[in-house]
Structure 1
Amino acid sequence: MLSRPRRNRQSAAIRAQIRETELTPGHLVQPIFLMPEPNARLPIVSLPGTFRLGIEEVVREVGECRKLGIYSFIMFPAVPEEHKDKTGTYATSEENFYLHAATRLKTEYPDICLISDVALDPYSTDGHDGLVVNGKIDNDQTLPLVDAMAVAQARAGFDVIGPSEMMDGRIESIRRALDKEGFTDTSIMSYCAKYASAFYGPFRDALDSAPRQLEDVPTDKKTYQMDPANRKEALREAALDAAEGADYLMVKPAINYLDIIRELTNEHHLPIAAYHVSGECAMLLAAAERGWLDYQTAASEALLSIRRAGASVIISYFAKDFATWYGQ
């Protein structure tokens, strides 16, 4: 037998020499759930180890992550019910705690990359990512609202704008709005392949952003998020968003869509981001709590698989823990 692949697996030193995929804390993005109360720290029951935080706790958390080598963060607002309305007007309000928090973080830590979320659902009484008109999510009436939201976020200090609402034409519309206001250096991370997944539950618990049970309003997001059965559609969405000016292309969720990450990596020269979503993480955590899996080993393998599929950027609730283990 002339060829024995096992020869290159005989020691840690040899395995390190030929390792094809590297994952470091620099590839990871830590999600943040922000609350208006400055010192809040409330656990998310359906996602153990993750918290809703006030800005003072966020400042401390970001400082700890930086020491571990994580410099990228994506932040989501847990908006109180009294600030929600049909058109999400609080998203651009000068009183919006989310915008104030972004300014504070970029003042405290100018070297971090801060990514926003652009969608109506945190601010809407309907719980949908787009504007509901006559029982339907109206694509074109949503665009001016997300344009204004993106500009307000760029003005607050966000480095990367993250349109997640899956409206057609949003990337071009937001790019024009940002450029018109002088934010030509602000990047756009497009959720180009965001699937109508069953794995978003803990995230929606954290933000109370699930579609509401209202008369004549859809109770799911299947009319704008993608069908999990479709692959070619993801290629089309990515091509459209790239042509419209996206700076990153995102696949969400990640683990169940590794084939889509690989397809986009092969097709595009833009960085590919992957969102390792709350349900994917919660599932692994639940198994680890029962002793069925080793948390560190399984979480590290999950993140490595996303990186191996081609993701340049990985958003994950395991980011901080992985950075703690890294290099041990």
Structure 2
Amino acid sequence: MDFPITRLRRLRRTEAMRRFVRETSLEPSALVYPLFLCPGEGVRREISSMPGVFNLSIDEAVKEAEEAASLGIGGLLLFGLPESKDEQATGAWDHNGIVQQGLRALKQSRSAKDLLLIADVCLCEYTSHGHCGIVHKNGDDYEIENDASVNLIAKTAASLAEAGADIVAPSDMMDGRVEAIRDELDAAGLEQTPILSYAAKFASAFYGPFREAADSAPQFGDRRSYQMDGANLREAMREIEQDLGEGADMILMKPAMPYLDVIRAARERFDVPIGAYQVSGEYSMLHAAFAKGWLEPERAMMESLLSIRRAGAGFIVTYFAKEAAKVLA
């Protein structure tokens, strides 16, 4: 029926009514908080382009984890800044690598035991050149070697799982890495460790602040030969389908806001857990607007997260996790 019999505003009149008919909900357990682990003790170094986000020594990361657990946050996504880098990304798969040390410390923290510990699996933070794989150079030309990179990525995933990661999350976008990781995990007796694949990770301008946080900017070239072209939705579905076929248990879309249509398309097509990563550039541009007084911080933060959830993400990786959890409490 049409107006005046149908009056849609009847269901918007009060907060109680709006809450009663709300279609999409958000809870702290659906949030994942990224942490950047660095060597040292008592280190809490703010990242200039990401207000409120820090490089943390392991003792400080344990404190952050305990706070996150107290807020009901679902999990942590761990990145590492090694003491040294080389062309083989040795720090990524070293038994005593920074994230491996962090995982063991977090597992020993009683307060943090309710958190899922998700280990990002990539080589870019650990390579001297900043690329996500092994580089073959020929004069001024270079190529990221897919298969050689996959071998190290699989080795890294097994090392992180052995150290205590509840979930391993390959973010490199090399072909075949999910199958290689599954084989490596199973061979090591880690068949219960699930794989969260960054199945559709786009070559985006929104990663800039992260590269400061993780010290992972490429020293030459860019990542467009392995991260996805932002124009391609159908190709994203092919990437997801291939990763699921290789054994991925969950998938992650990255970035979130500029690719809400990709999240929606994946949700409609695939019956697996789907998450999205509200990346550093999304976080930083909102903070820039907050600092100028152009946006109301709490409302804009929550609206941005709700839009990702509404698009179809079951969980969200976000640097707003603690602030959002406090609002939702």
TM range (shorter): over 0.9
* Pairing 1:57-206 to 2, within 5 Å after superposition: 57-80=60-83, 83-108=84-109, 109-134=112-137, 135-206=142-213
> Separation in 2 of the partners of 1:284 and 1:60?
26
- State how many pairs are aligned: 320
Asked if 2 retains the 8 angstrom alpha-carbon contact of 1:118 and 1:163, the reply is yes
Contact 1:117/1:161 (CA < 8 Å) preserved in 2? yes
Contact 2:82 2:97 in 1 (8 A): no
2-structure distance, mates of 1:207, 1:73: 16
Q: Residue 65 of structure 1 contacts residue 320 of structure 1 at CA under 8 Å; is this kept in 2?
A: yes
For 1:62, give the aligned amino acid: A
Deviation digits for residues 113-134 of structure 1, max 9, x if unmatched?
Answer: 0001111111101100011113
Alignment of 1:8-27 (within 5 A): 8-27=11-30
Aligned-pair CA distance for 1:60: 0.7
Following TM superposition, the consecutive aligned residue runs of length 4 or more in structure 1 with deviations greater than 4 angstroms are: none
For residues 282 and 79 of structure 1, what CA distance do their matches in structure 2 show? Answer: 24
> Which one of the candidate residues 221, 227, 237 is aligned to 2:223?
221
- Secondary structure of the residue that 1:162 maps to in structure 2? strand
* Per-residue deviation, 1:107: 1.8
The one-letter code sitting in structure 2 at the alignment partner of 1:183 is L
The Cα offsets for residues 13-46 of structure 1, whole Å up to 9 and x where unpaired, read as 1111110000010100000011111210000000
Over the residues paired in the alignment, what is the CA RMSD in angstroms?
0.9
2:155 alignment partner, SS class: helix
Deviation at 1:95, TM superposition (A): 2.7
Q: Distance in 2 between matches of 1:90 and 1:196?
A: 24
Q: CA deviation at 1:71?
A: 3.3
Alpha-carbon offset, residue 106 of structure 1: 1.3
Q: Name structure 2 gaps, 5 residues minimum.
A: none
Output the CA distance in 1 between the equivalents of 2:6 and 2:85: 65
Contact kept in structure 2, 1:35 and 1:78, CA below 8 Å = yes
How many angstroms does 1:110 deviate by?
Answer: 2.8
SS in 2 for 1:172: helix
Separation in 2 of the partners of 1:221 and 1:265? Answer: 26
**C-alpha displacement at 1:143, in angstroms?**
1.1
1:52 Cα offset (Å): 0.6
Residue number among 265, 268, 272 corresponding to 1:266 in the alignment: 268
Q: Summarize deviations over 1:205-262 as a string: whole Å, max 9, x none.
A: 011101003xxxxx21000000011100110001101111111111100011000000
**Is contact 1:79-1:207 (8 Å) kept?**
no
Contact between 1:106 and 1:112, CA under 8 Å: does it hold in 2? no
Identity %, equivalent residues: 46
Which deviations, in whole Å up to 9, do the C-alpha atoms of 1:251-297 show, x marking residues without a partner? Answer: 10001100000000011111111000000110000001100001111
User: Which of residues 230, 233, 258 is equivalent to 1:231?
Assistant: 233
Matched AA of 2:94: S
Give the residue type in structure 1 aligned to 2:313: A
Flag structure 1 segments of 5+ consecutive residues without an equivalent.
Answer: 214-218
Code of the residue aligned with 2:15 in structure 1: it is A
TM-fit CA distance, 1:67: 1.1
Q: Say whether residues 1:318 and 2:320 are aligned partners.
A: yes
Residues of 2 paired with 1:255 and 1:115: CA distance? 22
Amino acid at match of 1:194: K
Any idea what the Cα deviations from partners look like across 1:65-100, whole Å, max 9, x if unmatched? 1111113000100123xx211111122223312201
Q: For residues 206 and 244 of structure 1, what CA distance do their matches in structure 2 show?
A: 31
> Residues of 1 paired with 2:114 and 2:23: CA distance?
30
Q: Distance in 1 between matches of 2:165 and 2:79?
A: 12
Q: CA-to-partner distance for each residue in 1:127-159, whole Å, 9 max, x for gaps? A: 000111131001111111011100000000000
Task: Please tell me whether residue 7 in structure 1 is matched to residue 23 in structure 2.
Answer: no
> Alpha-carbon deviation of 1:313?
1.1
CA distance in 2 between counterparts of 1:210 and 1:293 reads 30
How big is the shift at 1:184? 1.0
TM-score (norm 1): 0.96
Contact 2:121 2:156 in 1 (8 A): yes
